[in-house]
Amino acid sequence: MKKSSWTTGITATAAAAASMLALTACGGTAEQDEAQPAPTQTASEAAAAPATPSESSGMDMGMGMDHGSGGMAGHNPEGGPPPEGIETAPEPTYPVDSTVVLTADHMPGMAGSEATITGAFDTTAYSVSYTPTDGGEPVVDHKWVVHEELEDPGEAPLPAGTEVVLNADHMPGMDGAEATIESSTQETVYMVDTTIDGMEMTNHKWFVESELQPAE
């Protein structure tokens, strides 16, 4: 009987110890589960998720900044009269009121648009690079500025590399800006009325003759 009691005691003790080990193991698993990091968002989920207000603001700030070679941003749809002193072309290829097709790509949507000639002039047209006076990004190879839109320019044509001051307001920050002449042409220069990407533009300046084709 003593042997039986001793065996029973050992069995009970072993069972209690096993129970404690089991409880300890379960406790450790719960703590580890709590310490696990939250699942990360996949690339596809991140792409599908809507942007936060701050992210949207950042993306918006990066748009519409391509001022470059005469983009639409800030362009005045009312071109106004031609500059003082410019000479009207006596026998232009495209007379006033004739319809033409634009082949230039000064701005998106321009090439292929129809236009009506509102003026034709004998002058020198320049492509210029300049930094706007309003703090805007530098503009490279802007087409076109005519000789009569330069401050005290002297005799035309001016060679490439000549530094000039602009007296034109085709774009914000252009008037009064210091510029460098990139190239020039003495083709007939035209003003036109046209619609580009839904924007109606009157007396838009400028196109040279090689940038126009007769409308069919």
In tens, the pLDDT along 54-90 reads 333 333 333 333 334 445 556 778 999 999 999 999 9
User: What are the structural domain ranges in the chain?
Assistant: 87-214
* Residue appearing with tokens 């703590």: 31
Which structure tokens are listed for 154? 């002297």
Going by C-alpha positions, the residue among 144, 35, 174 that lies closest to residue 82 is 144
The percent of residues in the chain predicted with pLDDT above 90, rounded, is: 62
* Residue appearing with tokens 């924007």: 199
Q: 117 with 206: CB under 8 angstroms?
A: no
Strand runs labelled E in the chain: 87-88, 99-102, 114-122, 125-130, 139-146, 163-165, 178-185, 189-196, 199-208, 212-214
Per-residue pLDDT tens over the stretch 187-212: 999 999 999 989 999 999 999 999 99
Q: 123 with 146: CB under 8 angstroms?
A: yes
Work out the average pLDDT over 125-151.
97
* Residue appearing with tokens 């495209």: 94
- Determine whether 197 is exposed, middle or buried from the number of CB atoms within 10 Å of its CB (0-12, 13-18, 19+): exposed
Q: Which CATH superfamily is domain 87-214 in?
A: Domain of unknown function DUF1541 (2.30.30.1210)
- Average of per-residue pLDDT values in the chain: 77
**Global confidence as pTM:** 0.68
